[in-house]
């Protein structure tokens, strides 16, 4: 048995492809409309599906009559998911579905399904805990140190209330799939974040072997944490397909259902007190928080956030069960709320003692995990420099007499981002062509591009010499793309697979170079003897030595320790928002937004920056505009569309400055995921900037004119 190959990354200065600003490989098909998404799929004979959704927030189904619908033109199948007796817990609950020759026919027929309900009392609001009654479930109090004594002895105590609303994922491609179920076999073309896990999950509900389910997805129109599971939706499509004699059925949520039931970020409200000294040192934390993830109330966001070792603390959380669509993982679950609650409370403490909040953050950075302390100090300085903090920041509310007030706010974030378990196969053919296969998915993060860069770097080839195939269930198993786990997983498995394949090629090529395999290296499209580059074969010449036998080598990563420092976890970031608030109209606008972010080894700086830009733009959208609005009387979501559920547009996000913290000490950590980390601090930074501008805390996000003006006028929002 040969020694384990050296899988470690080439040193920073010696990389040829990794670290290059390679344009995303699927850019041409996306920028020309040729990328085919699940919702673009149209297998032969495909039918169109439509749902019947419950109009009540809480009800019991008393009867379902499909007889009229079944006779409608074009109808091929009707399926009831919620028969009489079903208790429905939110508006939009899927009761029945129809498949027909055209979408219009399916919708017409769905309207003819007669469902009778017995309406029941509902609760759809949680801001006012006193009205939640038995739906509120208070957890046990957690304590450390002596909070009572610390508050009694404190030189200063700040207190505030903070609100973080439910927002929806609003994926542009709605949830759904095309499914064909014929007896013991099925094919699925889903919109998913988990290609290789999909068959297993669907198999459980269809009761056929997972090996008989083929899954393919080339592109997905957004997920952000909401598309891990086939959910009930793929099963419904499969049942319609089966009933329609095995014809494929396309079943996607319409926009209203997508907004109502397909995923949202839980709310978080809190009353927080901080005790400390006048030099900025925090001595105690006290929080009473509440929130809802839907019918399942969910747990608390971690508090205090980042500054986890505040010695004296007391916290209690109340979960509220609501009759609303269920929450889903939302890009850094819990962490956005946690950053908002902690960083806003700390900014309020800084204002209370009249101190610069960056100095307060610095003063307390020793409460962060040791591995992060130096990094936060560096990043606070760097962000302050890029945001011109010294020049532009002013004590809270000292923003002049003009009606438009400018303010700056700071916030921090952290995320693990360790790679998930992943398997990759690299095939080198005698003609020199190279195929890399992983059953992963590219959510638009650039996964295709970075896998190809890693393989090319490892084989000493240009990016164009490597063919990549992803997105199918019959490829080597990868994990779900969530929690920033993909880049660490696929880059590690790809590196191992490519190095393993190269070892085999060295064995085949060594005799022709009169060398031992371990004396060879792959550089610039050649296989050469280390130290004697004149003794070389071109890549193609070397591959011809394989005769007729292709090389196919796996690379596997268990998701924990890769043994070579290829990937790890623990990203940190500091962000600063610079806003203007018109105190006459309540309008908040972003002047400039600065992000300093590390993520270990950066495989493609261009794509890494895009991730940070994207996270910030999405975050600004949530901070300024986004909020699910529920009607108390009907229990309906009132803005279940994209007109009144407002996303930021191209003119709403100001200027964004991204600084990737790629110092060698960060690079040496290996690859760390980047999808979540920069998405965390935005609401907090914007909220703090607004408070800095207008001199008073706007408790509830989003920072809409309504909330800003209510705060300025002293009205309860």
Binding site for other proteins (CB under 8 A): 23-24, 26-37, 39-40, 42, 48, 52, 55, 68, 102-104, 107-108, 111-112, 114-116, 170-174, 219-222, 224, 254-255, 443-445, 606-607, 610, 613-618, 621, 641-643, 647-651, 653, 656
Instruction: Centre a 10 Å sphere on the Cβ of residue 450 and count the other Cβ atoms it contains.
Output: 26
Q: What is the CA radius of gyration of the chain?
A: 28
Beta carbon of residue 66, minimum distance to other proteins (angstroms, whole number): 12
**Cβ-Cβ contacts under 8 Å for 479 (sequence gap 6 or more):** 194, 196, 197, 420, 421, 422, 440, 485, 486, 489, 559
Question: To which residue do tokens 């006459």 refer?
Answer: 584
Beta-bridge partner residues of 582: 404
Which CB atom, from 34 or from 540, has the smaller least distance to other proteins?
34
Beta carbon of residue 433, minimum distance to other proteins (angstroms, whole number): 20
Beta carbon of residue 27, minimum distance to other proteins (angstroms, whole number): 4
User: What is the phi-psi region of residue 222: left when phi exceeds 0, alpha when psi lies from -120 to 50, beta otherwise?
Assistant: left
Helix or strand holding residue 176 (H, E): strand 176-182
Tokens encoding 246: 């095995």
Dihedral of CA 42/43/48/51: which sign?
negative
Tokens encoding 163: 């609100």
Which CB atom, from 379 or from 445, has the smaller least distance to other proteins?
445
Q: Is 664 exposed, middle or buried (0-12, 13-18, 19+ CB in 10 A)?
A: exposed
Which CB atom, from 29 or from 549, has the smaller least distance to other proteins?
29
Asked if 458 and 390 count as a contact pair (C-beta separation under 8 A), the reply is no
Beta carbon of residue 232, minimum distance to other proteins (angstroms, whole number): 21
Beta carbon of residue 614, minimum distance to other proteins (angstroms, whole number): 3
Which CB atom, from 173 or from 347, has the smaller least distance to other proteins?
173
Residues 475, 478, 484: CA angle, nearest 5 degrees: 145
Tokens encoding 393: 């920041």
Which CB atom, from 295 or from 613, has the smaller least distance to other proteins?
613
Tell me how far apart the alpha carbons of residues 57 and 325 are, in angstroms, rounded to a whole number. Answer: 9
Which CB atom, from 367 or from 613, has the smaller least distance to other proteins?
613
Pairing of strands 655-660, 167-168: unpaired
**Cβ-Cβ contacts under 8 Å for 402 (sequence gap 6 or more):** none
Beta carbon of residue 649, minimum distance to other proteins (angstroms, whole number): 5
- SS3 label, residue 276: strand
Beta carbon of residue 184, minimum distance to other proteins (angstroms, whole number): 30
Beta carbon of residue 40, minimum distance to other proteins (angstroms, whole number): 4
Which CB atom, from 12 or from 656, has the smaller least distance to other proteins?
656
Which CB atom, from 363 or from 606, has the smaller least distance to other proteins?
606
Q: Is 308 exposed, middle or buried (0-12, 13-18, 19+ CB in 10 A)?
A: middle
Which CB atom, from 115 or from 691, has the smaller least distance to other proteins?
115
3-state secondary structure 573-584: EEEEEEEEEECC
Beta carbon of residue 22, minimum distance to other proteins (angstroms, whole number): 10
Beta carbon of residue 119, minimum distance to other proteins (angstroms, whole number): 12
* Cα dist from 472 to 476, 498, 556, 580, whole Å: 9, 20, 18, 48
447 alpha carbon, distance to own chain's centre: 14
Which CB atom, from 470 or from 694, has the smaller least distance to other proteins?
470
Which CB atom, from 307 or from 330, has the smaller least distance to other proteins?
330
Tell me how far apart the alpha carbons of residues 335 and 338 are, in angstroms, rounded to a whole number. Answer: 5
Helix count and strand count (H, E) for the chain: 18, 29
Beta carbon of residue 527, minimum distance to other proteins (angstroms, whole number): 32
Q: Smallest Cα–Cα separation from 328: which of 303, 300, 299, 294?
A: 294
Which backbone phi and psi does 160 adopt, to 5 degrees?
A: -160, 165
Which CB atom, from 156 or from 647, has the smaller least distance to other proteins?
647
Which CB atom, from 291 or from 483, has the smaller least distance to other proteins?
483
Beta carbon of residue 640, minimum distance to other proteins (angstroms, whole number): 11
Which CB atom, from 21 or from 663, has the smaller least distance to other proteins?
21
Which CB atom, from 112 or from 636, has the smaller least distance to other proteins?
112
Beta carbon of residue 126, minimum distance to other proteins (angstroms, whole number): 26
Which backbone phi and psi does 465 adopt, to 5 degrees?
A: -90, -5
Sequential DSSP letters for 64-115: EE-HHHHTSTTEEEEEESS-TTPEE-STT-EEEEEEESSHHHHHHHHHT-EE
Beta carbon of residue 319, minimum distance to other proteins (angstroms, whole number): 28
Instruction: Centre a 10 Å sphere on the Cβ of residue 517 and count the other Cβ atoms it contains.
Output: 17
Beta carbon of residue 487, minimum distance to other proteins (angstroms, whole number): 14
């Amino acid at each position: 048995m040969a020694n384990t190959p050296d899988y470690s990354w080439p040193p920073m200065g010696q990389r040829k492809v990794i670290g290059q600003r390679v344009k995303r490989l699927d850019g041409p098909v996306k920028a020309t409309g040729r990328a085919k998404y699940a919702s673009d799929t149209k297998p032969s004979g495909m039918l169109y599906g439509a749902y019947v959704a419950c109009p009540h927030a809480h009800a019991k189904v008393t009867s379902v009559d499909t007889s009229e619908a079944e006779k409608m033109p074009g109808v091929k199948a009707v399926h009831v998911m919620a028969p009489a007796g079903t208790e429905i817990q939110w508006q939009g609950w899927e009761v029945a579905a129809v498949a027909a020759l055209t979408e219009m026919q399916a919708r017409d027929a769905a309207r003819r399904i007669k469902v009778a309900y017995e309406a029941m009392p509902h609760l759809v609001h949680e801001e006012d805990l006193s009205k939640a009654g038995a739906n509120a479930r208070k957890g046990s109090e957690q304590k450390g140190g002596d909070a009572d004594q610390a508050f009694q002895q404190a030189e200063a105590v700040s207190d505030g209330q903070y609100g973080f609303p439910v927002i929806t994922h609003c994926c542009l491609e709605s949830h759904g799939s095309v499914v064909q179920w014929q007896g013991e076999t099925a094919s699925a073309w889903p919109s998913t974040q988990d290609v290789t896990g999909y068959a297993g999950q669907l198999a459980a509900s269809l009761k056929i072997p997972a090996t008989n389910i083929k899954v393919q997805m080339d592109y997905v129109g957004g997920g952000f944490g909401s598309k891990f599971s086939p959910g009930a939706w793929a099963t419904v499509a499969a049942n319609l397909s089966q009933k329609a004699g095995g014809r494929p059925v396309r079943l996607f949520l319409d926009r209203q259902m997508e907004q109502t039931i397909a995923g949202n970020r839980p709310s978080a409200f809190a009353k927080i007190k901080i005790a400390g000294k006048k030099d900025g040192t925090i001595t105690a934390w006290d929080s009473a928080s509440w929130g809802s993830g839907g019918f399942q109330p969910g747990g608390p966001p971690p508090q205090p956030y980042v500054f986890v070792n505040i010695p004296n603390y007391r916290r209690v959380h109340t979960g509220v069960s609501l009759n609303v669509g269920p929450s889903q993982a939302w890009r850094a679950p819990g962490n956005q709320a946690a950053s908002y609650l902690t960083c806003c409370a700390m900014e309020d403490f800084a204002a209370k003692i009249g101190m610069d909040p960056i100095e307060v953050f610095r003063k307390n950075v020793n409460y962060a995990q040791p591995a992060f302390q130096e990094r936060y100090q560096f990043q606070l300085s760097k962000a302050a420099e890029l945001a011109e903090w010294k020049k532009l920041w002013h004590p809270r509310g000292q923003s002049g007499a003009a009606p438009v007030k400018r303010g700056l706010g700071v916030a921090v974030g952290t995320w693990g981002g360790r790679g998930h378990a992943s398997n990759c196969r690299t095939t080198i053919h005698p003609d020199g062509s190279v195929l890399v296969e992983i059953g992963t998915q590219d959510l638009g993060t650039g996964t295709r591009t970075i896998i190809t860069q890693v393989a090319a770097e490892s084989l000493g080839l240009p990016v164009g010499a490597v063919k990549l195939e992803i997105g199918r269930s019959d490829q080597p198993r990868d994990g779900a793309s969530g929690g920033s786990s993909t880049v660490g997983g696929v880059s590690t498995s790809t590196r191992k697979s490519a190095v393993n394949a190269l070892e085999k090629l060295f064995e085949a090529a060594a005799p022709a170079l009169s060398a031992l395999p371990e004396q060879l290296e792959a550089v610039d499209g050649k296989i050469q003897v280390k130290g004697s580059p004149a003794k070389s074969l071109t890549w193609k010449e070397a591959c011809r030595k394989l005769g007729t036998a292709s090389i196919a080598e796996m690379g596997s990563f268990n998701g924990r320790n890769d043994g070579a420092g290829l990937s790890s976890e623990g990203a940190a970031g500091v962000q600063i928002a610079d806003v203007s608030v018109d105190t006459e109209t309540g309008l908040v606008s972003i002047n400039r937004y600065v992000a300093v972010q590390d993520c270990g080894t950066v495989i493609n700086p261009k794509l890494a920056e895009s991730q940070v830009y994207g996270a910030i733009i999405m975050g600004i959208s949530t901070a300024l505009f986004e909020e699910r609005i529920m009607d108390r009387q009907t229990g309906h979501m009132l803005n279940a569309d994209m007109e009144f559920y407002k996303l930021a547009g191209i003119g709403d996000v100001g200027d964004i400055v991204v600084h990737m913290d790629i110092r060698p000490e960060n690079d040496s950590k290996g690859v760390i995921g980047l999808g979540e980390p920069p998405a965390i601090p935005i609401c907090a930074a914007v909220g703090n900037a607004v408070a800095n501008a207008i001199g008073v805390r706007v408790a509830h996000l989003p920072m809409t004119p309504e909330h800003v003006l209510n705060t300025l006028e002293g009205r309860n929002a």
